[in-house]
Amino acid sequence: MPRSFDNGFLNGAPLPGEAAFAPGARLSFAPSVGAAVPILTIPPAPVLTVTEDGAPLDPPVDLVPQVDTIVVDRTAAQFLLVWRASFAWEARLETATLTVH
């Protein structure tokens, strides 16, 4: 990260007292003047796999991504979701491959 990066924007979990953005949750955002209220339904999480030379690790790494940041681009009428999965680092992961399906 650049030296000017504000670590306050780097979350691996929801803020204290806040629920995670769960798949199926419907969120509405304050509209721009004269615009419709944007509504977003959180989609199912992508499936993540960790492999070594094409074979799944044994035991598998438990990776359950959750949305922790939503960026609203009102001009383009689009949402950008940042998914994060937290897990304990292990030496066997150094040469493993993470795939997003």
pLDDT band at 68 (very low <50, low <70, confident <90, very high): confident
Q: Which domain holds residue 15?
A: 7-100
Question: What number of H helices and E strands is found in the chain?
Answer: 0, 7
pLDDT of residue 21: 83
Structure tokens at 75: 């001009």
Report yes or no on 38 lying in a domain.
yes
Q: How many domains does the chain have?
A: 1
User: What number is the average pLDDT over the span 52-76?
Assistant: 88
Q: Is the pLDDT of residue 29 over 80?
A: no
CA-to-CA separations, 91 to 95, 96, 99, in angstroms, rounded = 8, 10, 18
Burial of 72 (0-12, 13-18, 19+ CB in 10 A): middle
Residue 31 lies in a domain: yes
Please write the tens of the pLDDT for every residue from 71-95: 888 777 788 898 989 888 999 999 9
> For residues 80 and 73, is the Cβ–Cβ distance under 8 A?
yes
Distance (Å, whole) CA 93 – CA 26: 35
**For residues 78 and 94, what is the distance between their CA atoms, to the nearest angstrom?**
35
* In a domain? residue 2: no
